[in-house]
Chain A
Amino acid sequence: MRLSDLLGADVVDAAGEPVGRVTDVRLAQTGPVGAGVLAQFVVESLLVSPRHTGSLFGYERRHDQGPALLRAAVRALHRRAVMIAWDDVDEWDVEGRRVTLTRDHDRHPPEVA
């Protein structure tokens, strides 16, 4: 499986209703960082946007990213973007490029990593 199998995948809730598409994948480092070696990264959550315009360089996540006009435009486009924990994913159909969420999943506002 590849990151690109997740990016752009359709996200639906437990009833099959569309939530959006995966525009980015937040990774979290687990365990201690050894000398000269990075601890492994795991997929922590998905950034899901109902728009199909991609992640747009983090503008939808950073409150201080300028220029202000561009920031406002991108944030308006992505105002309904949400972060959903990987633990709230019930099923990932890699071939079908479709992620199904659990019935009781939580949706969080996107914030910068």
Chain B
Amino acid sequence: MSGRPVNPRDPAEPGRGGRRMDAALRLLDHQLVDRDGRLCGKVDDLELERRDDGTLVVTAVLTGPGALGPRLPGVLGRATVAVWRRLHGDAEPGASRIPFERVAGIDSAVRLTMSRAEVPTYGLERWARDNVVEKLPGAGNAPE
């Protein structure tokens, strides 16, 4: 934001060494994979934080209906957010946030250092288990 001339194509740009990727093309809607190789959602958005020097840093991967809903147009987006709010315990649940420090690698998928059970959106599946599945006749006898 300083107006300093920068050539975005120049890999030798000072302080800008390292890998480059286009976020919408290479990250958005890509699969999240936990440390055990299990699928645990999609990259629905990225959280950006503006530093004092104007730099925008990616601080978290956002996943789940709270991140996807606002991206969807019109009624579909509003309905997604409304259902998410209804199922979630909080009045304004927001998006599920995975700190970028928990990202181990990015290839065709985004690989996490955490277990699927730690992914915040996994709570929706827990809610379904506690409120739907366990209420079914015979569910209490099901083996783990």
Contacts and interface: CB of A to CB of B under 8 A. Distances in A.
Given A41-B100, A43-B56, A85 B8 contact: yes
Contacts of B20: 26-29, 44, 113
B24 interface: yes
Contacts of B75: none
Nearest to A57: B25
Nearest to B62: A2
B22 A26 contact: yes
Given A24-B22, A25-B23, A85-B8, A40 B2 contact: no
A83 B106 contact: no
Contact of B24 (A2, A31, A55, A89): A55
Interface of A: 1-7, 23-31, 33, 36-45, 47, 55, 57-58, 61, 83-90, 102, 104-106, 108, 111, 113
14 contacts: A1-B50, A2-B62, A25-B23, A26-B8, A29-B19, A38-B104, A38-B106, A44-B20, A45-B6, A58-B25, A61-B25, A87-B3, A108-B7, A113-B22
